[in-house]
Structure 1
Amino acid sequence: MELDVTLTEGECRALAYPSLVGRPEPGDTVLLNTTALAMGLGTGGYAMVVAVPDRLPEDPSGPGHLVKARYTPLQATVLGADEQDSPYHEVLKDADSLDGMPVVIADLHSALPAILCGFYAAAGPDARVAYVMLDGGALPAWFSMSCAQLRSREWLCGVVTVGQAFGGDVEAVTLHTGLLAARHVLNADVAIVTQGPGNLGTGTRWGFSGVSAGEAVNAAAVLTGRPVAALRVSEGDKRERHIGVSHHSLTAYGRVALAPAQVVVPELPDAFGAMVREQAAALAVRHELVNVPVDGLLEALRDSPVRLSTMGRGLDEDLAYFLTSAAAGRHAAALLDEKRHPSA
């Protein structure tokens, strides 16, 4: 829940997660963490409510013994789909296959709605898509306004939070059981895997949270899914390492992913499109490059039910980024159609 908080030196916006700290009421004193405000972080300029000191929440009573954000002051106890007390434990106990389910993997959380725009423009409204949220960014799924809006529009059949991430419709210990839960608990036809909001990067070859995209390719492949790698492409980023195909994609898919994936290369126009294709060619050593046209995707993106934004740039400020993500969704729809209607 969003709050307006009066400080000794002014006012600020703050977020409280009632499941963790209780529900603040007008007039309450709250303890705040103001790190995001002090650092000017781009992903939500909010202070975070750490506690309502005069009215603490009730102790968790279960069921569930998965502890996430472990050994931090706000560690959360949740019921994991894969733990023994779960009604889905028997379903997942020996589950070992995604049955060829397409799994679209992207670096940034902002790719999620764009992938869905491309997917639904091609697949129609009846497909079931699950979002599997990694723990490289925000840990609470509640922080993502996009997730809430996409769920309300039924563009997502559910959110699965894995690793240290929590707050999804389904909780899981690992990405592997999270993918299996998407398939066998949520009955998803397609899964999308990205970090939560708040990607972390250091400007070094290996020091960025998006390396998890390469690990997600491996997980999807070992579980007999069909990994689809969405490239991170930008024409609007001011940093040279992210112009064209980002070094994040080249490292995650080129070095971390040991299993082959289908890498979607958008058919972008002009010299920029040629540069993207040339950069992506380096990934052909291990992966299958799939050229996907982008005609009609701009219209689909403009009809997005949620605001499109990446690193503070909207659709028109970094069109190549969103078209590339939408192209991955378009290809996933083609794979799903192929799975449903195999050629004779």
Structure 2
Amino acid sequence: MAAVLRWRYGTVTNIRNSWRGSCEVDVTIEARTPDDRTEAKALAYTHMVGQPQVGDRVLLNCNALAKGLGTGGYAMIIALPDRLPPDDDRPGHIVKARYTPQQAMMLAVDEEDSPHRAAMTEVDHIDGMPVIVADLHSALAPTLAGVLADRPDASVAYVMTDGGALPAWFSRTLDGLSAQLAGVVTTGQTLGGDLEATNIHTGLIAARQVLRADITIVSQGPGNLGTGTTWGFSGTSCGDAVNAVAALRGRPIGSLRVSDADARGRHVGVSHHSLTAYGRVALAPADLPLPLGLAPELDAKVRDQLDGLPDLHRIVEVSTEGLVERMRELPVRLSTMGRGLDADLGYFLACAAAGRHAANLLS
């Protein structure tokens, strides 16, 4: 029977780069078919497989490599079979990546063995905290810039949902922004944050109660699943997140995915991802920040599309004065779908405007 994983052996030939929880290496792959690549980049999650060294034999999953994927186009290191890492007997019994060969045992912030258990059970709400919900992981950095532009003293947490990459270690953005974030909470099947949570509800409570966040940003990890159909994309979780924030007595803010640079018509103006998530999945009201200063044609299209959304939501016009400069000062590179700040300015302004609006809600 054929396997759904492309199993290959390889040898580490060079250590390329490392960031928190990840190590990027070059590997020589032992080909099994004439179409196999024999040289490639590979990625190891060091908390799972250990630290690769030059000369190590590695067991690889080459699915993403064979399919030519963009964000995830690595050979993934499954194990260092000749040099297994020591066991980690830390407390915790919450399993993530459940019932897969690489399921991991984590300590959830809300379980009985957690040192934060008391804080997590004291309240069952987030006390009006503004929560910005975004479709793509690329929204995190510009949204944070928008918050800090007006409230540089604000404590901002990031809650990661499981629509994209599951390991937070995959994100170089999180590594680069670590000094500017109060912390990262990985929820559901995601893992590798400063705190692990069972679901988005306990993740939001952890952001408020444990990280003491004034504002929280919610999005999926890097990598976005989309099929080009009305419902077939991972960003429907934005609507679910709005509902969760409302259920916890927070203040939901829906960041709009806006672009006039995307070649795909369904993402021009306000992306159909935002229109579906906020227009059809979200059952609770949210603030939808509309950035001022968009290019005239883009602005007109966006306003026309927003007119078609349910009256449930509140459209809030937000000044973008000074936000481009704040985004340029970020310690990470801005990129969405391969486009930088100047190539897709409307997208980044919409994200930053959502951050500014959240900052202005703080008393």
SS of alignment partner, residue 77 of structure 1: strand
Give the partner amino acid of 1:136: G
Residue 92 of structure 1 deviates from its aligned partner by 1.0
Structure 1 segment 154-169 matched on structure 2, within 5 A: 154-169=179-194
Structure 1 segment 224-239 matched on structure 2, within 5 A: 224-239=249-264
Alignment partner for residue 70 of structure 2, among 42, 60, 76? 42
Which residue pairs with 1:128 in the alignment?
155
Which stretch of the first structure deviates more once superposed, 133-142 or 11-20? 11-20
Which residue pairs with 1:137 in the alignment?
164
Residue 29 of structure 1 deviates from its aligned partner by 0.2
Which residue pairs with 2:46 in the alignment?
18
Structure 1 segment 17-166 matched on structure 2, within 5 A: 17-124=45-152, 126-151=153-178, 154-166=179-191
CA distance in structure 2 between the partners assigned to 1:59 and 1:71 by the alignment = 19
In structure 2, the gaps of 5 or more residues are 1-22, 31-36
SS of alignment partner, residue 130 of structure 1: strand
| 8 Å Cα contact 1:42/1:312 also seen in 2 | no
Which stretch of the first structure deviates more once superposed, 172-181 or 24-33? 24-33
CA distance in structure 2 between the partners assigned to 1:20 and 1:199 by the alignment = 23
CA distance in structure 1 between the partners assigned to 2:68 and 2:138 by the alignment = 19
Matched, 1:247 2:269: no
CA distance in structure 2 between the partners assigned to 1:130 and 1:137 by the alignment = 19
In structure 2, relative to structure 1, the CA distance for the partners of 1:284 and 1:264 (3 Å cut) is farther
SS of alignment partner, residue 309 of structure 2: helix
SS of alignment partner, residue 328 of structure 1: helix
CA distance in structure 2 between the partners assigned to 1:81 and 1:195 by the alignment = 19
Residue 60 of structure 1 deviates from its aligned partner by 3.7
CA distance in structure 2 between the partners assigned to 1:63 and 1:272 by the alignment = 52
CA distance in structure 2 between the partners assigned to 1:143 and 1:17 by the alignment = 8
Which residue pairs with 2:322 in the alignment?
296
Alignment partner for residue 6 of structure 1, among 25, 28, 46? 28
Report Cα offsets for 1:59-79 as digits up to 9, x if no partner. Answer: 341300010000111111110
SS of alignment partner, residue 201 of structure 2: helix
Alignment partner for residue 303 of structure 2, among 277, 291, 294? 277
Give aligned pairs, total: 334
SS of alignment partner, residue 57 of structure 2: coil
CA distance in structure 1 between the partners assigned to 2:302 and 2:59 by the alignment = 48
Structure 1 segment 315-326 matched on structure 2, within 5 A: 315-326=341-352
Residue 44 of structure 1 deviates from its aligned partner by 4.2
Residue 18 of structure 1 deviates from its aligned partner by 1.7
CA distance in structure 2 between the partners assigned to 1:322 and 1:278 by the alignment = 20
CA distance in structure 1 between the partners assigned to 2:242 and 2:226 by the alignment = 20
Residue 278 of structure 1 deviates from its aligned partner by 1.3
TM-score (norm 1): 0.95
Give the partner amino acid of 1:7: I
| Structure 1 outlier segments of 4+, above 6 Å | none
Which residue pairs with 1:181 in the alignment?
206
In structure 1, the gaps of 5 or more residues are none
SS of alignment partner, residue 274 of structure 1: helix
CA distance in structure 1 between the partners assigned to 2:62 and 2:157 by the alignment = 33
CA distance in structure 2 between the partners assigned to 1:20 and 1:35 by the alignment = 19
Give the partner amino acid of 2:289: V
Residue 42 of structure 1 deviates from its aligned partner by 1.4
Residue 57 of structure 1 deviates from its aligned partner by 2.5
CA distance in structure 1 between the partners assigned to 2:349 and 2:309 by the alignment = 20
TM-score (norm 2): 0.90
Residue 58 of structure 1 deviates from its aligned partner by 2.8
SS of alignment partner, residue 180 of structure 2: coil
Identity percentage of aligned residues: 62
Which residue pairs with 2:8 in the alignment?
none
| 8 Å Cα contact 2:155/2:215 also seen in 1 | yes
CA distance in structure 2 between the partners assigned to 1:106 and 1:19 by the alignment = 28
| 8 Å Cα contact 1:42/1:311 also seen in 2 | no
CA distance in structure 2 between the partners assigned to 1:287 and 1:203 by the alignment = 25
The structure, 1 or 2, with the larger RCO (C-alpha pairs under 8 Å, 6+ apart) is 1
SS of alignment partner, residue 27 of structure 1: coil
CA distance in structure 2 between the partners assigned to 1:282 and 1:178 by the alignment = 32
| 8 Å Cα contact 1:107/1:249 also seen in 2 | yes
| 8 Å Cα contact 1:96/1:223 also seen in 2 | yes
Residue 94 of structure 1 deviates from its aligned partner by 4.5
Which stretch of the first structure deviates more once superposed, 57-66 or 96-105? 57-66
| 8 Å Cα contact 2:96/2:105 also seen in 1 | yes
SS of alignment partner, residue 98 of structure 2: coil
